[in-house]
Structure 1
Amino acid sequence: MGEVGNRIKKYRLRKGYSISRLAEESGIAKSYISFLERDQRKNPSVETLKKLSKVLKIPLELLMVDEERESILEVLDDEWLGLIKEAKESGVSKEEVRNYIRFIQYNKWHDNKDSKNPEK
């Protein structure tokens, strides 16, 4: 979790929050947030991260993952994550999702082909 302080700072700044405002809204001491951001405290509790992510309106996972996974999660907003979770809970397999994506791509390609070739 070595980069957690950098992530907290990045999302705080994106939100346009000062450390004081984040501290006030999260109920976490301003000095503790400052220590985290400056990497002087390295392992905040999950409870602390939950409070911060709630105020910053980001998924908790964004504060806890490595850079590669972070960039993936940034693309997936809560609605996408909810749809993925719903599909998984409904028993939809990854292969079924891939097949559905191929089906949609084929339909788009076919519609595009037909619009360029109106003689059909």
Structure 2
Amino acid sequence: MNIMIGRNIHEIRKIKGLTLSELAERAKISKSYLSNIERNLNQNPSIHIIIKIAVVLNVDLKALIVTDINVETQQYLDSEWIDFINELKESGVEKEHFHEYKTLIEFINWKNQNSNEKKY
């Protein structure tokens, strides 16, 4: 199992528009240490360091700890989400109004949880 933490950090950092120096400074780790992680020279960074990086990148910890085994599954899930987003767009949902739909989804989840609890 090849853990790709370094590659994931690098890709997400680029997507977020951060330089190596910016991420290192915000995460309060040395630039050289971060560089070694990204280049997989340090393949076993502590969970404390990974959490600090995830917080700065504003991503779930899982986004940084994807393995080769999970890559195919992740790509499949990503395509499902893309299909879902396209369906939303086709039905007239605009990105600017998604927060309203999120509130509705949260209510439905709450209602489902409460109805399941009453059954027991």
Asked whether 1:53 is paired with 2:54, we answer yes
- Runs of 4+ with deviation above 4 angstroms: none
Q: Is the Cα contact below 8 Å between 2:3 and 2:66 reproduced in 1?
A: no
Greater mean deviation of Cα atoms: 24-33 or 62-71: 62-71
Q: CA RMSD in A?
A: 3.1
Q: CA deviation at 1:46?
A: 1.2
Give distance in 1, aligned partners of 2:4 and 2:24: 19
Query: Which structure exhibits the higher relative contact order, with contacts defined as CA atoms closer than 8 Å and separated by 6 or more residues?
Result: 2
Letter in 2 for 1:23: A
Cα shift readout 1:78-109 (whole Å, capped 9, x = no counterpart): x7xxx6xx77xx4888xxxxxxxxxxxxxxxx
**TM-score (structure 1 length as normaliser):** 0.58
Counterpart of 2:18 in structure 1 is: 17
**TM-score (structure 2 length as normaliser):** 0.58
Q: CA deviation at 1:12?
A: 0.4
Which entry has the higher C-alpha Rg, 1 or 2? 1
Counterpart of 1:110 in structure 2 is: none
Consecutive unaligned residues of structure 1, counting only runs of 5 or more, are 94-120
Matches within 5 A, 1:75-114: 75=81, 90=113
In the alignment of these two chains, the number of paired residues is 86
Counterpart of 2:31 in structure 1 is: 30
